[in-house]
């Protein structure tokens, strides 16, 4: 539990963000902090006109409730996790970015890492992008930074595809 000390004399619980998903009974007794909301900063997409190996998606992910702050990117050297997930520098965070179907940026964070069974929280944001074309490619940057999102789903981690 987070506490706030007032004048060094009195400790009171800090206000915590309400969860947008139900926590399974099996996890309620665990001593962990569940992901509630997050911010995405500096969301940028570069699409090269001639060489798709130069394409890149990048941003900074921050979860104030769990204390995770990490860089996330997808480029020609990134290793895909499963069928459509890209890892962030912190292995507890992955993302999916798609422009078709349910378009947007889905953030996925391990909930209570190390617990069995493993669960993950997920949330979707749809950044409004401003794009600039050049002779070599297109750079798109989110018009708002940071973008605040809520984790609104808590599900068991899908089986490994390996």
Encode pLDDT of 103-161 as tens digits: 899 999 999 888 778 899 999 999 999 999 999 999 999 999 999 999 999 999 887 75
**pLDDT on residue 16:** 52
Residue 97 has pLDDT above 80, yes or no: yes
Q: If you average pLDDT over every residue of the chain, what do you get?
A: 86
Q: How confident is the model at residue 17 (pLDDT cuts 50, 70, 90)?
A: low
Residue 35 has pLDDT above 50, yes or no: yes
Q: How many other β-carbons are positioned within 10 Å of the β-carbon of residue 155?
A: 13
Domain 52-155 indexed as CATH 1.10.405: no
**pLDDT on residue 5:** 36
Query: CA-CA distance, 36 to 50, in Å (whole number)?
Result: 40
Residue 6 has pLDDT above 50, yes or no: no
Predicted model pTM = 0.84
> Sign of torsion, CA 30 36 39 45?
positive
What is the pLDDT averaged over residues 52-61?
A: 96
For the chain, which residues make up each domain, given as ranges? 52-155
What is the pLDDT averaged over residues 24-46?
A: 89
């Amino acid at each position: 539990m987070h506490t706030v000390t007032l004048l060094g004399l009195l400790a009171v619980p800090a206000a915590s963000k309400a969860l947008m998903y139900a926590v399974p009974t099996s996890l309620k007794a665990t001593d962990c902090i569940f992901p509630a909301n997050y911010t995405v900063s500096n969301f940028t997409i570069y699409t090269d006109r001639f060489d798709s190996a130069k394409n890149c998606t990048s941003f900074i992910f921050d979860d104030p409730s769990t204390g995770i702050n990490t860089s996330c990117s997808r480029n020609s050297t990134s290793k895909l996790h499963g069928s459509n997930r890209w890892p962030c520098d912190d292995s507890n965070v992955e993302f999916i970015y798609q422009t078709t179907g349910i378009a947007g940026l889905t953030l996925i964070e391990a909930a209570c890492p190390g617990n069995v069974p493993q669960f993950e929280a997920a949330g979707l944001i749809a950044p409004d992008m401003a794009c600039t074309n050049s002779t070599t490619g297109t750079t798109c940057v989110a018009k708002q930074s940071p973008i605040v999102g809520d984790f609104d789903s808590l599900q068991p981690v899908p089986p490994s595809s390996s």
